[in-house]
Amino acid sequence: MQKFGIVRPFTGEWKSGTNRELEELSKGENIVKWVKGQRISWLGSLERMEEDRMPKKIFTQELEGTRRRGRPRNGWREEVERDLQVLGVRRWRQLVIDREKWRGIVQQAKAHSGL
């Protein structure tokens, strides 16, 4: 069984735990769906953020230099945009402006079985 880390709530002590222990801590919620929903939520926050904020600058900047040979890895943005395509979300940059609609998309992502 694969092991991941768990931090005990009261002591702050880190210990190695199993997937089953993580599932019990998350009260049965699918952790992958939760993370993907949080990524979509953060994408909305980044898009609404003012241009002079550091996270927004990092998100929008283009990297300099050359890549390694071979197929380029998918970046964070490409992965989140792919998740939005699976959800059937079009024109996400316009939808992000309305926080209520975006919150609904995040909830839909957390409930979607195909992500």
| Per-domain boundaries in the chain | 3-51+75-111
Is pLDDT above 70 for 12?
no
CB 87 within 8 A of CB 115: yes
Nearest to residue 59, comparing CAs of 73, 76, 74?
76
Is pLDDT above 50 for 1?
no
**pLDDT tens digit sequence for 81-106:** 999 999 999 999 999 999 999 999 99
CB 43 within 8 A of CB 75: no
**pLDDT tens digit sequence for 13-41:** 766 667 777 777 777 677 788 888 999 99
- Rounded to whole angstroms, how far apart are CA atoms 80 and 74? 10
In the block, tokens 């550091």 appear at: 54
List residues bridging with 3 in a β-sheet. Answer: 18
